[in-house]
Copies of this chain bind each other. A is one copy, B any other.
């Protein structure tokens, strides 16, 4: 039995390409005392990996060339010398981009496959979902009837923020990069409307879509999109800065938007890091899984098959080519 691994080869220059990764096969390790071995089933692909690949100070992970890529996974315990885990247990664990890994159980969450599909632990019911939920509710603080704009509106974070906005009585307006995504945002996710930023001047499109101004902006992208939103803020608006996908692929941070509109609107801008909100996970899980069961909350997955396809799928994600939560099916759920 071999352990297939995808390795960090080099820091990408700009957007990542498959050549920024390499691969190898090594022996599957054996668990030591207090450890368990698990086989990876689902690998989550998330834009922040690009930041890890340049050693951003925000993240604790540091990669050296030749290290296996880090990342969130769903896995099944196959051998255990840890009293809390037994073979057969399903877990959310950071195995990274490899078929097998050891864990000492820290930060590991057990999953009940009868409660929700296993893959949702990486998306709608995992960190991306928590990001969208806690960021919108606790930093955005939308009030019923207010206008909430969400960029990357159909991604795992954005689709959560947008649907939560709707389900607490606000008017959700999406920003996405294709007419397909916009149609999906309105028809399936329940956005009141969605603007395609490739269809002409975003600032004017937002003005038309948000005639009373924007009360809450959940920002997943930064850059020009953020500037266009700032030009349309309502008084006392809240801007939640969550991700800056654009900047992840740049060597030098780009300039930001002119902040004059923040003063004019008496707005508040807040930085969101999901790890600060892990204490809200039980609430989030209860609320959102209930909405999913009721049928009022949808999610979508964009699945690549096999670990060898992970680099290509990640590069596509960083170019906005995914449609839904990007996942790699590393192995079948049952063996």
Q: Is the CB of A255 within 8 A of B253?
A: no
Number of copies: 2
Q: In the complex the two chains form, what is the Cα distance from A19 to B269 in whole Å?
A: 39
A31 within 8 A of B: no
A249-270 interface code vs B (CB 8 A; 1 in, 0 out): 0000111111110111111111
Q: Is the CB of A273 within 8 A of B269?
A: no
Q: Is the CB of B271 within 8 A of A276?
A: no
Q: In the complex the two chains form, what is the Cα distance from A20 to B303 in whole Å?
A: 63
Q: Is the CB of A266 within 8 A of B273?
A: yes
What's the nearest-Cβ distance from chain B to residue A152, in Å? Answer: 15
With A266-B271, A273-B264 already in contact, the answer to whether A241 and B255 are too (CB < 8 A) is: no
A59 nearest CB neighbor, chain B only = B264
Chain A interface size, under 10 / 10 to 19 / 20 to 34 / 35 or more: 20 to 34
Chain B residue contacts of A58, Cβ below 8 A: 260, 263-264
A207-243 interface code vs B (CB 8 A; 1 in, 0 out): 0000000000000001000100000000000000110
Which residue numbers of A lie inside 8 Å of B, CB to CB? 57-58, 222, 226, 241-242, 244, 247, 253-260, 262-273, 276
Closest 4 CB pairs of A and B: A253-B258, A255-B255, A263-B271, A269-B269
Please name 23 pairs of A and B residues whose Cβ atoms are closer than 8 Å in the assembled complex, sorted by A: A57-B264, A58-B263, A222-B259, A241-B259, A241-B262, A244-B259, A244-B260, A247-B260, A253-B260, A255-B256, A256-B256, A256-B257, A256-B259, A257-B259, A259-B269, A262-B269, A262-B270, A263-B273, A264-B273, A266-B270, A266-B271, A268-B269, A268-B270
